[in-house]
Structure 1
Amino acid sequence: MNINYTVTERFTKYVKFDTQSNYESKTNPSTAKQKIFSAELVKELLNIGINDAFLDEFGYVIATIPSNTEKNVPIICFCSHVDTSPDCSGENVKPIIHYNYQGQDLVLPDDINVVLKLSEHPDLKHQIGNDIITASGTTLLGADNKAGVAEIMDAANFFMQNPEVKHGTIKILFTPDEEIGRGVDHLDIKKLGADFGYTIDGETLGSYEDETFSADGMQMLIKGVSAHPGFAKGKMESAIKIASEIIAALPNDRITPESTAGREGFIHPVGISGQVEEAQVDFIIRDFDDDKLLKHEDELKEIALKVMLNYPNSSIEFKVQEQYRNMKKVIAKHPKVSEYALKAIERAGVVQKKQSIRGGTDGSRLSFMGLPCPNIFAGEHAFHSKQEWVSVQDMQAAVRTIINLAMIWEEEA
């Protein structure tokens, strides 16, 4: 299959758009700048001949590549998110291509203290001879998930330029606010009209992920007792100190992000705010097993209530919100979704690596909304950091995988 790749040019253009999402925002999408980039994607989709591409009020880009086969093929959707993480600046990204990487340290020029070392990034050992793209040292790169966006766009361009390649109807979906957990909050799944989907948002070359964490958020609202600090003896019960004691009472050697790996879940405090009279602590809770997830929540409550025994005039309230669930429950019911994806990866000349995600994707929620949606590699590494990188060759392999996957669904119909 002869592909005139455009993925590198697209990617290095896309990362220059600042699309950082914002946890604190109440708007949809959370930042208007995401829609500026999404509008550019619509323009490009229209230019390559996809006539129904549009951007809706909530920041979703939806487009259709019409079927060119007489077969009755399920409608497949390819999805990536346009936003970048709030954890690291995405403003004024300067992409740098390091050609013919040979295992050397990559010192990023705008901050020489930011260095990519083979010893710290083991996947670099598989990139000898490849071309590595980084930012310049002061921002993240945005490969999470603009690598996926560029790969889908390149594959779409291929299909429009090569009408002889048979495929069913293909839907394209670009979402905002994935990084802050709101990626599909306002998506009209019926309007999308797909049968099965794939997020292109994975890491290592060849990776295929059909399982995510199940995830909840827990908010603790602590009401203490305020008093003038000069006359507070025997009266004051500081909500700030109570919150701090609860966090300090958490285990250090288990059920924390820094002490777990593989299929182990965790409890993680992500925010604390307040005054003497009232304070709030926000946690995220994760596990692959829903029963274990609930046990983590019970343990967290027990820890907090034990601390509260020392503060008889104060109170605590727990609010638990479901965030997403392990998508394997849904995807396991549709074996062809996985079978065809793994076949497409191998047909792209890549060794497939079936694994689980210690996190979540838009695909987690899409799966439970009625669109079984596992995750395929985009090639992004060290995301949410100034050391983020991706290789040109991995992105090209992802493009081949997307094309192969659409072809296989048509072949097997």
Structure 2
Amino acid sequence: MSDTVLDRFLRYVVIDTQSDPASDAQPSTEKQKDLGRLLTAELLELGLSDAHLDEHGNVYATIPGNTSKDVPVICFCSHMDTAPDFTGTNVRPQILRNYQGGDIALPGDSGQVIRVEAHPQLKSQIGNDIVTTDGTTLLGADDKAGIAEIMTTAAHLLANPDIPHGTIKILFTTDEEIGRGADKVNLEKLGARFAYTLDGSTVGEIENETFSADGVTIDISGVAMHPGYAKGKMENAIKIASDIVARLPRDIAPETTDGRAGFIHPVDLSGSMESAHLQLIIRDFDDAGLVEKEALLKAIAEDVLLGYPGSTMTFTVKQQYRNMKQVLDRHPEIMDNLAEAVRRVGLEPVLHSIRGGTDGSRLSFMGLPCPNIFTGGHAYHSPLEWVSVQDMEKAAETIVALVQVWEERAA
């Protein structure tokens, strides 16, 4: 198979793999298995005889090592689902060859324009080939760019057995976009010591840190009463929940923070006069920051309830994921080898922190330390999503260099 990374990418993005947070199944949508079946077939065609799709939609495969050295088994991982934020049905990729600068108008929707002012990374793409949507769907570079890069690397290593490397595991997951990507991964079957997700963005960026994340649910029981005779009696649960939201600090919100600042973010509010349900997410790079924000939120809610003496609430905190840096710092060779690989392909590695989470967060705390590597994609989860072909090629080159570094530094 002599397909390029672009050939593969274009083949994968037209397969609708959007995940569904309202579904309790895994995968949350059966259509994710459509891509999984294709990838399994391609891996088998490459000669990876153990490639298979499990009942949860995860794809596993092994590239056997070809060195006598004792090299740790490394896994490369990407997710097959696309985000539920914007439609991924009927994706029509557009290729802008030899980009010469300027804004990019998308042909399917005149209101959708990728503007250089909002996407300054375009300034470094002069002469490159840019893949976009037609403006009516997302593209799916998150994370089908990563999949294409891993598949291209697998084909390259198998076609070039003179490149020494240890045993390499391939893992493609489902439902990462809804926070369940690692839920059904069988680490014993996978058999890797360390892993890398291909799920980043700007070329050269490597990521060893994510937010720590909790979810908070506040359930409110108010006092229902006929509105015609409610004076001094009714305590409207919707108003109580709204009061809590109204009192949230404006400077601790996603829309007012960046860098290493965390936030409190309401994501759902529903209810009636009698009862209301409020869901929030809490994010911070430090676990102590999570605790502080949760204490602040609880204090706000309790203060609001003082004005409604007949009403009650429950305040429930659920851990979602933790900053993977806590695990990765115990294995510095993982990032050291990655930084060296990035340098070998002619880039300067840029250490970056993710204001979010990846499969790597969960996998790291499940016992598989797993930082993140750039894919070249930008403007994820939106119709303005785009990726550079040359940056995808550079990501694939980085994987090849990385497995060589691990082999060279092994005993």
TM-score bracket, shorter-length normalisation: over 0.9
- The answer to whether 1:17 aligns with 2:15 is yes
Corresponding residue of 2:126: 128
SS of the residue corresponding to residue 202 of structure 1 reads: coil
- The answer to whether 1:261 aligns with 2:240 is no
Q: Is the 8 A contact 1:5 1:396 kept in 2?
A: no
Whichever residue aligns with residue 122 of structure 2, its letter is: L
Q: Is the 8 A contact 1:167 1:406 kept in 2?
A: yes
Task: Give, in angstroms, the shift of residue 156 of structure 1.
Answer: 0.6
Whichever residue aligns with residue 272 of structure 1, its letter is: L
- The answer to whether 1:67 aligns with 2:97 is no
SS of the residue corresponding to residue 29 of structure 1 reads: coil
Task: Give, in angstroms, the shift of residue 4 of structure 1.
Answer: 6.4
Whichever residue aligns with residue 151 of structure 2, its letter is: M
Corresponding residue of 2:154: 156
Task: Give, in angstroms, the shift of residue 233 of structure 1.
Answer: 2.2
- The answer to whether 1:376 aligns with 2:373 is yes
- The answer to whether 1:392 aligns with 2:389 is yes
**Aligned with residue 250 of structure 1, among 248, 251, 268:** 248
- Aligned equivalents of 2:246, 2:106: Cα separation in 1: 37
- Measured against aligned partners, the alpha-carbon deviations of 1:183-241 in whole angstroms (never above 9, x if no partner) come to 11121111111000000000110000011111111111111122222332222211111
Question: Structure 2: where are the runs of 5+ without partners?
Answer: none
- Aligned equivalents of 1:147, 1:385: Cα separation in 2: 15
SS of the residue corresponding to residue 408 of structure 1 reads: helix
SS of the residue corresponding to residue 146 of structure 1 reads: helix
- The answer to whether 1:272 aligns with 2:279 is no
- Aligned equivalents of 1:349, 1:159: Cα separation in 2: 20
Question: Structure 1: where are the runs of 5+ without partners?
Answer: none
Whichever residue aligns with residue 269 of structure 1, its letter is: P
What aligned pairs does 1:24-173 form with structure 2 within 5 A after superposition?
A: 24-173=22-171
Whichever residue aligns with residue 238 of structure 1, its letter is: N
Whichever residue aligns with residue 344 of structure 1, its letter is: A
- The answer to whether 1:294 aligns with 2:291 is yes
C-alpha root-mean-square deviation of aligned residues, in Å? 1.2
- Aligned equivalents of 1:235, 1:61: Cα separation in 2: 58
- The answer to whether 1:346 aligns with 2:343 is yes
Q: Is the 8 A contact 1:208 1:377 kept in 2?
A: yes
**Aligned with residue 307 of structure 1, among 300, 304, 309:** 304
- Aligned equivalents of 2:325, 2:63: Cα separation in 1: 28
- Aligned equivalents of 2:122, 2:134: Cα separation in 1: 18
- Aligned equivalents of 2:338, 2:150: Cα separation in 1: 15
- Aligned equivalents of 2:236, 2:37: Cα separation in 1: 49
Q: How many residues align?
A: 410
Q: Is the 8 A contact 1:77 1:198 kept in 2?
A: yes
- Measured against aligned partners, the alpha-carbon deviations of 1:331-350 in whole angstroms (never above 9, x if no partner) come to 11111100110111111122
Corresponding residue of 1:407: 404
Task: Give, in angstroms, the shift of residue 71 of structure 1.
Answer: 1.0
What aligned pairs does 1:170-189 form with structure 2 within 5 A after superposition?
A: 170-189=168-187
- Aligned equivalents of 1:22, 1:234: Cα separation in 2: 43
Q: Is the 8 A contact 1:350 1:397 kept in 2?
A: no
- Aligned equivalents of 1:45, 1:4: Cα separation in 2: 13
The TM-score, its normalising length taken from structure 2, stands at 0.98
- Aligned equivalents of 1:196, 1:172: Cα separation in 2: 12
Whichever residue aligns with residue 159 of structure 1, its letter is: L
Task: Give, in angstroms, the shift of residue 5 of structure 1.
Answer: 6.2
- The answer to whether 1:327 aligns with 2:324 is yes
**Aligned with residue 362 of structure 1, among 359, 370, 394:** 359
Task: Give, in angstroms, the shift of residue 109 of structure 1.
Answer: 0.6
The TM-score, its normalising length taken from structure 1, stands at 0.98
Task: Give, in angstroms, the shift of residue 182 of structure 1.
Answer: 0.6
- Aligned equivalents of 2:193, 2:12: Cα separation in 1: 29
- Measured against aligned partners, the alpha-carbon deviations of 1:126-152 in whole angstroms (never above 9, x if no partner) come to 111111111000111111111001100
